Amino acid sequence: MSDPIKLNRRNLIIGASVSAAALAACSKSPDASIVKEAMAKEKVPQENTPQKTSVETPTQDKIDLTGISILITGCSSGFGRLGAEHYARLGAKVFATMRNLPRPEAAELKALAAAENLDITVLEIDVTKDDQVKAGTDAAIKAAGGKLDVLINNAGMSIAGPIEAQDMAATNLIFDTNLFGPQRMSKAVLPAMRAAGSGYIFNVTSQLGRVIIPGFGQYSPTKFALEAMSEQMAYEVAPHGIDVTIIQPGGYPTKIWHNQNAPSAALKARLTEDIITAYPAFTAGMGKREAGGGEADPMDIPRAIAGAIAMDKAARPLRIALHPVARPQEAINKVSAKMQLAVLGNSPLGPIVKGVLD
């Protein structure tokens, strides 16, 4: 293990420069590409992280997911849609869920599955609705023979603007989707996983669950909370033979950037003029986002998840940081793991914590 990161003048100056770059660019493209640009300019070091956060996974052509059942939330686009296709092509039995059925994206995915003879079942689940979570997961568990092998909590959303601009309607919506949604889904599948003594849960957080860029509303708060919830759950379910892995994508070109426009515009319409004028850099572009995420390949996420599923249980990581260039969260992951081991490593919980982190 390399030496811990030191809070010296050089690192503090780098941090200030990254923040300044983010602030200057936020009204145009407030995403992880800002972090990439600022880190490259300031030569922020990347960490080669031990403690199962940077892992070697099998090559995709050697992965066989035959016999494995996987439920994914948020499959209308992005990582969820790409993942549904990818895992099914590797042999998995996939339950691809999305909101507001019927919809064109569901019909398209069903047609693709039929054309390629893929085992994909499309189910309706809005992760903010208790009844749909129960009905959808019950149907999937029954179809899978009584237990799901893998849950991928992928559904998420973003609403732009400064924190002061986030009213309780916007705050409740994003927390209900990004944090309470994974909690609902996990509670729905865990009893059967515990009974079987096995299971695997992936929670998709974000680089912005470790690093904060201003102007993203409650996005980072929800992702920080999901990081904490996921790690705590990992310790708690490990004795039941269940694994948890946190996926931390950087900026990728998915529809989350476009999809934030409607809720961001609705929020802006509710704002008073004094809030709008107090934060011009963060309110000017609300509801007007055209694209984001740079040119990174979104397939990085499904490939990493498939690789983790195929790994030996003892080697499965707690966190996987993903981006071809900028992964500042790796340094934070390293410090966090070291502190967890320092605090709990020699306690009665030590064996569980070490098993998850080492």
* Cβ count near 188 (within 10 Å): 22
Question: 252 catalytic, yes or no?
Answer: no
Whole-angstrom distance, CA of residue 87 vs CA of residue 305: 9
* Cβ count near 354 (within 10 Å): 15
Q: Which of 143, 221, 222, 237 is nearest to 187 (CA)?
A: 237
Is residue 345 within 8 A of residue 272, CB to CB? The reply is: no
3-class DSSP assignment, residue 117: coil
Q: Which of 206, 202, 211, 203 is nearest to 332 (CA)?
A: 211
User: What angle is formed at CA 84 by the lines to CA 95 and CA 143, rounded to 5 degrees?
Assistant: 15
Whole-angstrom distance, CA of residue 232 vs CA of residue 259: 30
Choosing from 219, 235, 252, 279, the catalytic residue is: 219
Which are the catalytic amino acids? Answer: 219
